[in-house]
Chain A
Amino acid sequence: MPSLAVTLGELQLANPILSASGTFGHGLEMEQFAPPERLGGLVSKTVTLRPRPGNPAPRIHETEAGFLNSIGLENRGLETYLAETLPEVAGADTRIFCNIGGESPEEYARLAALLDERSEIDALEINLSCPNVQGGRLPFSTDPALAERCVRAVREATSKPIFAKLSPNVSRIAELAVAVEQGGADGITAVNTLLGMQVDWRSGKPGLATVMGGYSGQGIKPVALRCAWECVQAVSIPVLGCGGIADADDVLEFLAVGCAAVQVGTASFSDPGLLGHLAADLAARLEAAGLESIAQVRGSLERHLSAK
C-alpha cells in the first residue's frame, strides 16, 4: 500500500484529503456516508461568534459544471458549537479543523482564544474569504495588510496551528499568501469560491436572492489549481489545495503543483459517500502508477519545469 500520510507543520494527517468547510457539516452529520476516520481531516462549517440566520432564499443555483451558493454563513454561533458539536466530534479518529469567521481582527482573535482552550480541536482555519457576507466586499482577503492583521490577531490568541483560507477573487493571490505567512499562519487553504451570479433574462430574476454568490464545483478547478500554484511558489508554509476536486486524479494534480494536502467540497453534494473512499482511490491510483508515496508526486510540476 502506498503511503498517504502527510505532515502539515506539526500536524500529522493519515492522508491528504480533508473536507472543505461548509460541505461536510459542523460535526459528524456525514459519518454514515463517509466515516470520519477515512479523512485526513474534517473542516467544520464556519463558526461565528454570534448566531447568524443566513441569507434569504433562493440560496443555491446550479450553473454549468458547478453551482452558486449564497448561504451567508448560517450557523448557531460559537456557544452552541462549543456545547453541542465539539463533544460530538471528540471521538472522531481524524484531525478536527474548526473554521472561524469574523467581522474584525478582534472578533477573529476572540473566537480563536475561546477555541484555543478546547483540546478536541487540532487546528483553526481562518475564513478570510466568504463572498456571501459584507456584501461580497471580501475585505480580509483582498487587502494584504488587513489579512495579515487578522492572522496575527489569531496567532496571538492561540497556540494551535492556523490555516488562512484565501479568496480567488484577487489580482495577485501571491501577495495575500505572503501576507498571511508573515502574520503567522502555519498553512494556507487555496481557495474559497469564485464570485459569480446568474440571471433569467426573461424575467430579470437573479438565480440567488443576494444576486452574487460563490461559484464552486468542477468548473473552477483550473482557476483553483492556478491559485494554489501561485501560493506554493510564494510561501514556504504548506498549501491545501481546494476547488473543483472530484476524484483521485484531481487530488494528484493539486499535489503535483506542490500542495501538501487538499480539501474536497461541492463533490460531496454529488455523492456524500465520496470522501469515504477517495483516500483508497488515491492509494490505488498511486499503486497502479508504480509509486510508493504521495511525496513522489508532490511538486512534480516544479521538477518538470526546472529540468527543462
Chain B
Amino acid sequence: MSMLNIFDVSGSAASAQSQRLNTVASNLANADTVAGPDGQAYKARQVVFQTTLMGEVGAAGVRVSNVTEDQTPGRRVHDPKHPAADAQGYVTYSNVNPIEEMVNMISASRSYQNNIEVMNTAKSLMLKTLQLGQG
C-alpha cells in the first residue's frame, strides 16, 4: 500500500525540518552568549540531512545524520570591564550570524509546510478511496 508510506516519508521530513528549526532557535537564542557551559563561546550548530529509505524503493524519507558545529572564530569585542574579558581585554561572543539563521528559519518553515500539505493531500485521497463504491 504505497499511499500509507507517504505519511512515513512526509512525517520523517517534517520531523527533520523541526529539528532544523530547533537548532535555529538555539542559535538565535545564543547569538549574544559570551560563554557556554564549557566556558568557551557558543558555536552555531547546523543539522545535516540525509536520505533514508522508508521500506520501499520509491519511498525516500529524510533523517538528520548529524549536527555540526561551525568552527569559525567568534566575534571579538574590546571591553576590558566585561567579566568575561581575557588578558588583552577582549570578549569573545558566539559566531552565530543572525541573518543566516533567519534565512534558515524561513526555509525550514516553508519546507515543513510543504510536507504537511503533501500529507493533507494524501489523507484526503485516502479518505476518498475508502468511500470507493459507495457513491
Partners in one complex: no
- Chain B interface residues toward A at CB < 8 A: none
- Chain A interface residues toward B at CB < 8 A: none
